[in-house]
Structure 1
Amino acid sequence: MGIDTSPISIARFRRYRGGMETRELRYFVTVAEELHFGRAAQRLGIAQPPLSRAIGQLERRLGVTLLERTSRSVALTAAGSVLLREGRAALDAVEAAERRTRRTALAATGSPGLVLVTKAGAAGELLPKLLDAYAAEPGAVAVDVLLCGIGEQERLLRDGRADVALLHRPFDSASGFDTEELRTEGQIVVLPARHSLASRAHVLMADITALPGLPMPRWPNLDGTYPDGPGPQVRDHTQLLQTIALGRAAAVLPESTRAYLPSGLAAVPVLDAPEVTTLIAWPPHSRSQAVAGLVRAATRL
């Protein structure tokens, strides 16, 4: 679900439940994440007694207990868990609005305007074509390209550090964004060129899952941890391709990846793999003419 960072939404947040302030919510979120008043105070750069008083005042104003405290531990109540989840989203919304406001002011003074975020190695030939097409648009501004890790585009777009993103469904979530579909393609399995499947015209997903000694790689979760499994941990496409070349993994990737594979790797179409749709996405409240121009250029490609 998208975060509404409109001025009206933020004003409502600042008046939330009888006058909750951004400062108070930031205090609570920090304590809830640390579950320790001393560490939270150190992280916030304040003394512990005023932090404890602020949390107590917040609980009295809301009329609920947010934290269960003993001499040895601090734990979230059910109400505290709700406020932690909603509070993080609200603070993210405020920070995103501040970033976008500053960038809008910079753009008005003639400073560089757009930040486009995409996964490193995932946009293929589409990205340079898009940048060239947009550069030919009347009134085009400079575009800074931010290359990120797996699954980071959504967060960077949502928190205001990017104006527009290239997402890939079904891997990335476009919930809460305005989007335009740019292309849909099949997928391939990338293998060491010497592997027995490399000479096949096509394979099925069942063929891949049965590969001895070539497990699927494990990508990091949004919190930086890795899921359990036998596959090697990888952070980006460069590391992934090196791991495959060493004969330690295989990976199912969009068909457009084929054009950028180094020597020593083979690509075989996977007939029953889900199709991948590339989207251009932007915040629904955006009024940027530069974003509109970039989207127009993208949809004409």
Structure 2
Amino acid sequence: METRELRYFVAVAEELHFGRAANRLGMAQPPLSRAIRQLERRLGVTLLDRSPRAVTLTPAGSVLLREGRAALDAVDAAGRRTRRAARAGTGEPGLVLVVKAGAGGELLPRLLDAYAAEPDAVDVEVLLCGIGEQGQLLRDGRADVALLHRPYDSLAGLDTEELCTEAQVVVLPAGHPLAGRAELSLAEARALPGLPLPRWPRPDGSYPDGPGPEVRDHAQLYQLIALGRAAAVLPMSCRVQLRPDLTTVPVPDAPTVTTVIAWPPQSRSRAVAGLVRAATRR
């Protein structure tokens, strides 16, 4: 298969309409329809069920949509990494490490210090991103390695090594009546009067329904908590850089959070391998 054919198919599969897909691709509809027919003949399967009223994916089409997206992401990532290498003037450019803004705590500086002490270390650019964006930045080639948090971040399609596991706490305004409690249950943390838990973005950028505020990053979240508009259950390491107008209470029955270092499985970078070794030797 050619990448052009995959891009055509992914556009049609996502739009489920040949006219809209053709507009999205900047081409006429007849050649797009012919290209999809040719792809189906070459594979020997039906990818789309067509009727006068609708276009739907067959089971085979659903598989190709998933695999095609991954393949196109890999192709785009290869191009971005190649251009980065050219700009660096070497076959081994500096690393881009992506982390959620406001996350990382003490772990990130320790990791960077450990890697900098390696004899073959390269420069590491730390890229700060919004909630849930690290995986996509890895897959599309804008980053080489990431710090992710299970179970909150998706690790699908990535290679990972576990770094640490920690309990969680509920973050409250410093003057809240429950701030002096020794602990709260997860049920209590989820039902605090006037302090709903935030709604984090899904991978597609949409937000789940609910009473809590939509939150893009930790800075925004901490401001909302300080204003008495929300509370949040977060890994215990958040206490390292917590604002003085916020406080935390342990939530012993909340699920533990495991921080992992992740990278694309097709990576052959010596620098990525060195950073992962340094991270796991901490």
Query: Considering the TM-score relative to the shorter chain, is it more than 0.5?
Result: yes
The 3-state SS of whatever aligns with 1:145 is: strand
Q: Does 1:29 align with 2:10?
A: yes
- Once the 2 structures are TM-superposed, how far is the Cα of residue 212 of structure 1 from its aligned partner? 1.4
1:235-258 per-residue CA deviation (whole Å, 9 max, x = no partner) reads: 111111111111111101111111
Match for residue 133 of structure 2?
A: 152
Do the aligned partners of residues 298 and 86 (structure 1) sit closer, same or farther apart at CA in structure 2, a change above 3 Å counting?
A: closer
The 3-state SS of whatever aligns with 2:37 is: helix
Find the aligned partners of 1:96 and 1:186 in 2 and give their Cα distance. Answer: 35
Find the aligned partners of 1:70 and 1:236 in 2 and give their Cα distance. Answer: 44
Match for residue 246 of structure 1?
A: 227
Gapped regions of structure 2 (runs ≥ 5): none
Match for residue 23 of structure 2?
A: 42
2:134 counterpart letter in structure 1: Q
What is the number of equivalent residue pairs in this alignment? Answer: 282
- Once the 2 structures are TM-superposed, how far is the Cα of residue 71 of structure 1 from its aligned partner? 4.8
Do the aligned partners of residues 52 and 179 (structure 1) sit closer, same or farther apart at CA in structure 2, a change above 3 Å counting?
A: closer
The 3-state SS of whatever aligns with 1:182 is: strand
Q: Does 1:177 align with 2:177?
A: no
Q: Does 1:192 align with 2:188?
A: no
The 3-state SS of whatever aligns with 2:178 is: helix
Q: Is the 8 A contact 2:92 2:269 kept in 1?
A: no
Q: Does 1:89 align with 2:85?
A: no
Match for residue 276 of structure 2?
A: 295
Find the aligned partners of 1:222 and 1:173 in 2 and give their Cα distance. Answer: 9
Match for residue 102 of structure 2?
A: 121
Q: Does 1:281 align with 2:262?
A: yes
Find the aligned partners of 2:139 and 2:204 in 1 and give their Cα distance. Answer: 16
1:64-97 per-residue CA deviation (whole Å, 9 max, x = no partner) reads: 4333444554333343333222322222233334
Find the aligned partners of 1:298 and 1:214 in 2 and give their Cα distance. Answer: 37
Match for residue 258 of structure 1?
A: 239
- Once the 2 structures are TM-superposed, how far is the Cα of residue 174 of structure 1 from its aligned partner? 3.2
Do the aligned partners of residues 65 and 285 (structure 1) sit closer, same or farther apart at CA in structure 2, a change above 3 Å counting?
A: closer
Q: Is the 8 A contact 1:164 1:281 kept in 2?
A: yes
Find the aligned partners of 2:11 and 2:267 in 1 and give their Cα distance. Answer: 30
Q: What TM-score do you get using the length of structure 2 for normalisation?
A: 0.90
Match for residue 74 of structure 1?
A: 55
Gapped regions of structure 1 (runs ≥ 5): 1-19
Q: Is the 8 A contact 2:85 2:93 kept in 1?
A: no
Do the aligned partners of residues 56 and 249 (structure 1) sit closer, same or farther apart at CA in structure 2, a change above 3 Å counting?
A: same
Do the aligned partners of residues 104 and 74 (structure 1) sit closer, same or farther apart at CA in structure 2, a change above 3 Å counting?
A: same
| 2:191 pairs with one of 207, 210, 217 | 210
1:206-243 per-residue CA deviation (whole Å, 9 max, x = no partner) reads: 22123112111100100111111111111111111111
Find the aligned partners of 2:158 and 2:50 in 1 and give their Cα distance. Answer: 40
Find the aligned partners of 1:45 and 1:297 in 2 and give their Cα distance. Answer: 47
RMSD, matched Cα: 2.3
Match for residue 143 of structure 1?
A: 124
Do the aligned partners of residues 243 and 292 (structure 1) sit closer, same or farther apart at CA in structure 2, a change above 3 Å counting?
A: same
1:244 counterpart letter in structure 2: I
